Amino acid sequence: MKIVCKKSDLLNGVNIVSKAVPNKTTMSILECILIDATENKIKLTANDNEIGIETIVEGDIREKGKIALDAKILFDIIRKLEDSDVSIECDSSLKTFINCETANYTIIGKPADEFSYLPEIERLDSVTVSQFTLKEIIRQTIFSIADNDNNKIMTGELFEVDGDVLKVISLDGHRISIRKITLKESFPKKKVIVPGKTLNEMSKILSGETDKEVKIFFTGKHIIFEFDSTVVISRLIDGEYFKIEQMLSSDYETKVTVNKKKLYDSIDRATLLVKEGDKKPIILNIEDESIELKINSTVGSMNEKIDISKQGKSIMIGFNPKFIMDALKVIEDEKIDIYLVNPKAPCFIKNPEESYIYMILPVNFTTVG
């Protein structure tokens, strides 16, 4: 095999598929990227048997063939090369020569037939969204998945299509994030649980451009994302997702409308007094025209008042400050509505159309002066 590509094209392709290379594995072949130039295109593939990524790289095929190369070594070499044409050539002994300008590397590859190709999956049900939309939906929900495997379902996100609505839900036992978008057309009802790891890697690859689209295919065991010259295939998480509707309530005793940035900045200032690992709640004392925010830690205490408009009862309630800040960070609205019932019940941050809903459980606190 011998191929010649521009450094920038090759580096971009290697960077994309590297997202499917596992950090730790006992199978050295999974640490490799397959370069396949057996047809009239240069195809790069990585696959850790949970997520697989394949992308096409522009270039010149001088001699057809294929080779599996260590992903980290390949990426590091290409990254440091001059911004010029890169030649990759391998012989029958798997010796591989990477040349660019005056730099010449020789590394040993692995047989391509040991590599696990992406599974052949029939593509039937699909929806189409812009790369910008998908990247945003992931950003606006991914922070509230669970980060451990105690409950596998909580480590993924529910993708639910119903007619012309795509709803994405994540939860970790302390909070729920829901985003809804309207699709250009209607589709059959579908529910799948997508691993958070897959969505994290997807968000790094997507360009975020509004005029570029992603096709999402749903199958019984996999989800497939097709965009640009790239295909991402991921296993789904088996199981029934939580009955979220039962956890949502439209009842409230107190409704607060507040400037989002002012609330975020105030909580941010308060957390300066909280050491990492400390679980100190932010206490919101909601009165007729203001919220008083209080925090008390071993370092010191802080309180600040923010103007609000309020309907209903006054209330004092405590929250994990990070959970509120995570939600506020991804809401674009200048003003937000917060709905509360009592100090023990969850609060909801949502807009009138309910295109976003963030539910956060309160925490117990002791009153500070």
Q: What is the pLDDT of residues 9-38, one digit of tens each?
A: 999 999 999 999 998 888 999 999 999 999
Q: What is the pLDDT of residues 110-132, one digit of tens each?
A: 999 999 888 888 888 789 999 99
Q: Supply the CATH classification number for the domain 248-360.
A: 3.10.150.10
Query: Looking up tokens 């070594």, which residue turns up?
Result: 73
* Topology match between the domains 2-114 and 125-245: yes
What pLDDT sits at residue 289? 94
SS (H, E, C) 86-142: EEEEECCCCEEEEEECCEEEEEECECHHHCCCCCCCCCCEEEEEEHHHHHHHHHCCH
What pLDDT sits at residue 366? 73
Q: What is the pLDDT of residues 85-96, one digit of tens each?
A: 999 999 999 999
> Using 50, 70 and 90 to split pLDDT, how confident is the model at 105?
very high
Phi/psi of residue 100, nearest 5 degrees: -155, 120
Q: Is the dihedral of CA 182, 356, 157, 193 positive or negative?
A: negative
Q: Which two tokens stand for residue 97?
A: 């020569």
What pLDDT sits at residue 149? 74
Q: Please, are residues 75 and 15 in contact by the beta-carbon 8 Å criterion?
A: yes
Q: What is the pLDDT of residues 61-102, one digit of tens each?
A: 999 999 999 999 999 999 999 999 999 999 999 999 999 999
- Of the candidates 55, 42, 58, which has an alpha carbon nearest to the alpha carbon of residue 231? 55
Q: Please, are residues 329 and 241 in contact by the beta-carbon 8 Å criterion?
A: no
Give yes or no for residue 6 having a pLDDT over 80: yes
Q: What is the mean pLDDT of residues 143-156?
A: 91
What pLDDT sits at residue 369? 45
* 369 vs 27: which has the higher pLDDT: 27
Q: What is the pLDDT of residues 240-297, one digit of tens each?
A: 999 999 899 889 999 999 999 999 999 999 989 887 777 789 999 999 999 999 998 8
Q: Which two tokens stand for residue 176?
A: 């729920």
- Of the candidates 19, 110, 117, which has an alpha carbon nearest to the alpha carbon of residue 68? 110
Describe the strand order of the beta sheet including 301-307 as a list of residue ranges.
301-307, 290-296, 282-286, 315-319
Domain boundaries, the chain: 2-114, 125-245, 248-360
What pLDDT sits at residue 148? 80
What pLDDT sits at residue 310? 97
> Using 50, 70 and 90 to split pLDDT, how confident is the model at 367?
low
Q: Is the pTM of this model over 0.85?
A: yes
- 3-state secondary structure at position 14: helix
Q: What is the pLDDT of residues 198-245, one digit of tens each?
A: 999 999 999 989 999 999 999 889 999 999 999 999 999 999 999 999
Give yes or no for residue 5 having a pLDDT over 90: yes
State which CATH number among 3.40.50.300, 1.10.510.10, 3.10.150.10, 3.40.50.1400 fits the domain covering 2-114. 3.10.150.10
Q: What is the pLDDT of residues 40-52, one digit of tens each?
A: 999 999 999 899 9
Q: Which CATH superfamily is domain 125-245 in?
A: DNA Polymerase III, subunit A, domain 2 (3.10.150.10)
